[in-house]
Chain A
Amino acid sequence: MKDPIKVPTMAEFAATGEVPEVLFWVGCMGSFDDRARKISKAFVRILTAAKVKFAVLGQEESCTGDPARRAGNEFLFQMQALQNVTVLNGYGVKRIVTACPHCFNTIKNEYPALGGQYEVMHHTQFINALLKEGRITVDGGSFKGKRITFHDPCYLGRGNGEYEAPREVLLKLDAALVEMKRSKEKGLCCGAGGAQMWKEAEPGKKEVNVERTEEAIGTEATIIAAGCPFCNTMLNDGVKHFNKEGDVVVKDVAELIAEAGDL
C-alpha cells in the first residue's frame, strides 16, 4: 500500500504566509471523474517526488467555463471566469499547471482578456521540465518491449501547438513510441471537445471515439497514452467497444511516469 498523498490548498499556504511554486488546477474531471481522479493522484505523486511546492484551490476551484463557452453560453463562461480570476488574483497566483488541456487553453488564452495573467503549463510540459532539470528520474525498464501510441489532445496540439512535450516524456520509458497515421497536426479528435462530452452525438453512422480507438488499436500498441481526461474517457469507451480491455490500456502520460518511477 502506497503512502496517502498530501495535497495542500492555497488557503493553507496563505495561512502560513508561504507561497507555493505552482498551483495545480485540478479541473472538474480531475476532481470528480473516477478515472480522471487517478490521473490527478499520479500527477500529485510526481510533484511530491520532485519536491515541488504546490497547492490546489480545493473548494475554491470552480469550472473554468470552457464547456459553457463552447456550447455558446458566453454569460455563464464569463461568470465562471471572472470569479476564478478573482480567486486566483486574490492569492497572487503566478504559475498554474493542469492535467486538462481544456482548462489549460481557457486559463492560458482566454483569462488574460478578463484580467487573469498567468504562466500556464500543461502537466506533460511540467513533467518534461522536471525530467530535464533532473528533479525526477524514471527507470523505464518495466516498459521495455511495449508499444505505446500517443493520442494528441486537440486543445493541446492543434490548439496550442504542443506536440513534443508529451512525446519527449514518453521517450523516457523504454518502450517503442509508435505514431498513428493521423497524429500531431493531423491528429483525429476523440469526439469529446466543443461540449460534446455532455451530450449525445448528433445522428451519424459511427462514433468519433470508435473511429479514433480503431486507429490506435491498429498500431498494435498495448498502451494508448493520453494527455487529457476527456480523451482518456472517450478512448477507454472505445477500447470497451472493441472488447479489447484485456489487450490495450488507456493511460495518461502522468500515470505512466508515476508507474515507471514506482511513485
Chain B
Amino acid sequence: MSFSAIVFLLAFAAAVWWFTRNVRRIRRNILLGREEDRTDRSGERWALMAKVALGQSKMVVRPIAGILHIVVYAGFVIINIEVLEIIIDGIFGTHRVLSFMGGFYDFLIGSFEVLAVLTWLGCAIFLVRRFILRIKRFWMPEMTAWPRTDAGLILTFEILLMSAFLLMNAADHTLQGMGVEHYVVAGAFPVSAHLAQLFHFSALAPSTLIGIERFSWWFHIIGILGFLNYLPYSKHFHILLAFPNVWYSKLKPKTEMSEMPRVTGEVKSMLDPSIPPPAPPAEPANGLPSEHFGAKDVFDLTWKSLMDAYTCTECGRCTSECPANMTGKLLSPRKIVMDTRDRLEEVGKVIDAKGQWEDDGKSLFSRISEEELWACTTCNACTQACPVNIDPVEIILDMRRYLVMEESKARQELNAMFTTIENNGAAWAFGPDQRMKWTEE
C-alpha cells in the first residue's frame, strides 16, 4: 500500500470516528428530553418526509431562496456520489476506477460538473444576499457573531469544495489529452474543459498539472471529511436532521396542545375525592432533575423539541412571519429554538465533564425571558413557515406552563382571568345566571 493510501485511510478513519462520536453525543443530548411517542401513522410520516424534507415543499414558498436552495442541495448531494470513487481511488491508488461504465460514466461526470457550477453560483448568490444585500432576517438580534460566521463559513467552504472539484477535473482533462501515464481517458468535462482553456493549462508542464490535480484531489476529499466533522458544531447539521425531524413531525392539528396526564389524575381526584391522587413521578436516575409541571430546563421538554433545536438552521422564516416579532415585540421564535439548542449544548458539556448531570444553577430561563414567552399569540405562523417542521410554540407553551404552575408567575391580568374563570366559569365577570341574557335582548 502506498504512503498516500495510508495517509488517506488514516484521515478517513479519523474523520468517521470523530463524526460518529459527535453524533452519539448529540443523540444522547436529544434523549435527555421527555418521552413522547411520535411513531404513529408511519405511512403518513414517510410521505411527509418525502414531500417536505426530500421534496423541499416548504422551501419553495419563498421561490428565490427555495429554488437556489434546491440547486445547492441537489448539487451537493449528487456530487458526493463522486466521493465514492474518490475513496476507492484513494485506497487502491487507482484513477477513475468507475470509468469502466463508459458512456454512462461520461454522463455522470458531465452532470456533476454542471451541478458543481450551479452549486457554486447558488452559494455565491446566498453570500451576496446574506452579507451584501443584508436581508433583514439574517441580521436580527439573535444572529450574533457566531451564527453569522457559521453561515459564512458554510457557504465559503462549499464554494471552495466545488472549485477544487472543477480544478481537479480541468487538470485531469488536460493530462488525459497529453496522454500522461495513469490518467486514463475517461469522463466528460463540459465545464472544466473551458476552465482548462481559460487558465491555459495546456501550456503547463505535466508535473505542474499533476501537482494541481493531486492538490485539488486531496483538498476536495480532506475538505469533505473536514466539512462532515464541522456539521455537528454548526447549524448545517440540518442537512442530516431535517429528515428524521420531519418524519417525527406533529401530525395533530397545529393548535392542539400536548396532554398532561399527570394533571388529569390530580384534577380527577380533586373533583371526585373517591379517586386517589396519582403517585408522584419516580425520582430520575443519574442525578437528573425531577419532573416539573411544564418546562424549566431542557430535561422538561420533549425529545422532539430538543431534536427541533439541533435541526434549526437559523433561516429565520419563523421570525419573519411572527406577528409579535414584526410588531416590535421581543419574541423571536428562532431565538427560542437557538436558545434551547445552546442550553442543551451547555448541559451536554456538564455531563461530558462530570460524567453525569450536576445542577449548574442555570436553566432555559437563563436565556429566554418571560417577556418573550408572554408575547406569543400561539398563531402558529412560525410552525407553518418552518421548512423542516420545527415547533417553537410547543417550547413556549411548555415554559408558560412551568411559569404558571410551578412559579405562579403569569402576567397579572392573566391571574385575574384565572380567578374569574374559577369563580364564574367564564373568562369575564359574568355569572352562569347571565349566560342566557343575550337571547332576551
Chain A residue nearest in CB terms to B252: A109
Alpha-carbon separation in the docked complex, A239 to B308 (Å): 39
* Closest chain B residue, CB of each to CB of A61: B435
Inter-chain contact B377/A196, CB cutoff 8 Å: yes
Give the interface residue-count category, chain A: 35 or more
Interface-forming stretch among A66-74, A130-138, A143-151, A172-180? A66-74
Measured in the bound complex, the distance between the Cα atoms of B428 and A159 in whole Å is 25
A 21-59 binary contact with B (CB < 8 Å = 1; else 0): 000001010111100010011001000000000001011
Decide: B384 and A186 in contact? CB cutoff 8 A.
Answer: yes
Tell me whether B377 and A194 are in contact (CB under 8 A).
yes
Complex contact B427–A28 (CB within 8 A): yes
The reply to whether A32 and B430 form a contact with Cβ atoms under 8 Å apart is: yes
Q: Which one of B270, B405, B438 has the greatest number of beta carbons of chain A within 10 Å? A: B438
Quote the shortest CB–CB distance from A216 to chain B (angstroms): 14
Residue-wise interface mask of B (371-405) relative to A, using a CB-CB cutoff of 8 A (1 in contact, 0 not)? 10011111111011000000000000100111111
The interface-forming segment of A89-97, A199-207, A243-251, A252-260 is A199-207
Decide if A19 is an interface residue (CB 8 Å cutoff): no
Q: Which residues of B contact A40 (CB under 8 A)?
A: 438
- The residues of A that contact B266 with a CB separation of less than 8 Å are 75
| Residues 258-284 of B contacting A (Cβ, < 8 Å) | 259-260, 263-264, 266-268, 270-271
Which of A114, A188, A194, A203 contacts B264 (CB under 8 A)? A114
- In the bound complex, do residue B418 and residue A73 qualify as a contact, i.e. CB atoms below 8 Å apart? yes
Closest to A188 in B: B323
Known contacts A74-B401, A154-B377, A158-B255; A189 and B413 CB within 8 A of each other:
no
Contact across chains for B253 and A159 when beta carbons are under 8 A apart: yes
Q: Which of A9, A28, A70, A207 interacts with B378 by CB under 8 Å?
A: A70
Residue in contact with B426 in the complex, picked from A9, A62, A159, CB distance below 8 Å: A62
B97 at the binding interface (Cβ < 8 Å): no
The reply to whether A208 and B430 contact each other, CB–CB distance below 8 Å, is no
**Chain A positions within 8 Å of B37 at CB level:** none
Q: How far is the CA of A212 from the CA of B324 in the complex (A)?
A: 12
Q: Is A7 an interface residue (CB 8 A)?
A: yes
Are A82 and B267 interface neighbours, CB within 8 A?
A: yes
Residues on the B chain within 8 Å of A73, using CB? 404-405, 410, 418
Q: Any chain B CB within 8 A of the CB of A191?
A: yes
Q: Contact check, B379 vs A158: say whether CB atoms are below 8 A apart.
A: yes
Whether the pair B427, A67 counts as a contact (CB closer than 8 A) is: yes
Contact A109 B253 (CB under 8 A): yes
Chain A positions within 8 Å of B260 at CB level: 74, 78
Nearest CB of B to A27, in Å: 9
Q: Which of the segments B8-16, B189-197, B200-208, B326-334 contacts the partner chain?
A: B326-334
Contact B425 A200 (CB under 8 A): no
> Which residue of A28, A56, A83 is within 8 Å of B271 (Cβ)?
A83
Complex: how many Å from CA A199 to CA B264? 27
B381–A28 CB distance below 8 A: no
Q: In the complex, A69→B432 CA distance in Å?
A: 21
Q: Give the chain A neighbours of B264 by CB distance below 8 A.
A: 78, 82, 113-114
Residue of A nearest to B430 (CB): A32
Given A189-B323, A202-B329, A211-B323, CB of A72 within 8 Å of CB of B401:
yes
Kindly state whether residue B321 has any CB partner on chain A within 8 Å: yes
In Å, the complex CA distance between A78 and B384 comes to 27
A56 contacts across to B, CB distance below 8 A: 436
B328 to chain A, nearest CB (A): 3
**Could you say which residues of chain A place their CB within 8 Å of the CB of B330?**
202-204
* Residue among B259, B321, B326, B417 with most chain A CB within 10 A: B417
Which chain B residue has the least Cβ–Cβ distance from A80? B421
Q: How far is the CA of A105 from the CA of B254 in the complex (A)?
A: 10
Which chain B residue has the least Cβ–Cβ distance from A195? B414
Say yes or no for A63: interface residue by CB 8 A criterion.
Answer: yes
- Does A160 touch B at the CB level, under 8 Å? yes
**Contact of A70 with B426 in the complex, beta carbons under 8 Å:** no
Given A71-B410, A202-B331, A211-B326; A105-B432 close (CB under 8 Å): no
Candidates B294, B328, B384, B438; contact of A72 at CB < 8 Å:
B294
Query: Is there a chain B Cβ closer than 8 Å to A155's Cβ?
Result: yes
Q: Say if the beta carbon of B181 comes within 8 Å of chain A.
A: no
Is there a chain B Cβ closer than 8 Å to A171's Cβ? no
The answer for the CA separation of A31 and B375 in the assembled complex, in Å, is: 27
Asked if B422 is at the interface (CB within 8 A of a chain A CB), the reply is: yes
Judge whether A63 and B328 touch: CB under 8 Å: no
CA distance in complex: A73, B427 (Å): 13
1/0 per position for A109-127, CB-CB distance to B under 8 A?
1100110000000000000
Q: Chain A CB within 10 Å — which of B330, B421, B428, B441 has the most? A: B421
Docked-complex contact A193 and B433, CB < 8 angstroms: no
**B401 to chain A: which residues have CB within 8 Å?**
72, 74
- The answer to the question of B439 belonging to the interface, with a C-beta cut-off of 8 Å to chain A, is yes
**In the complex, what distance in Å separates the CA atom of A56 from the CA atom of B400?**
33
A72 / chain B contacts, CB cutoff of 8 Å: 294, 397, 400-405, 410
Q: How far is it, in angstroms, between the C-alpha of A5 and the C-alpha of B57 when the chains are bound?
A: 49
Interface residues of B (CB under 8 A from A): 252-257, 259-260, 263-264, 266-268, 270-271, 293-294, 321, 323-324, 326-331, 371, 374-381, 383-384, 397, 400-405, 410-411, 413-414, 416-418, 421-422, 425-428, 430, 432-441
What would 21 A/B residue contacts be, using CB atoms closer than 8 Å? A5-B439, A26-B435, A37-B441, A56-B436, A59-B436, A63-B426, A67-B421, A68-B417, A72-B405, A75-B266, A80-B425, A82-B267, A108-B253, A109-B255, A110-B256, A154-B380, A154-B381, A158-B384, A191-B323, A202-B324, A203-B329
Q: Which 8 A-B pairs have the closest CB atoms?
A: A159-B255, A205-B328, A194-B378, A72-B404, A72-B400, A62-B425, A189-B379, A204-B328
Residues of A within 8 A of B (CB): 4-7, 9, 26, 28, 30-33, 37, 40-41, 44, 56, 58-63, 65, 67-76, 78-80, 82-83, 105, 108-110, 113-114, 154-155, 158-161, 185-186, 188-189, 191-196, 198-208, 210-212
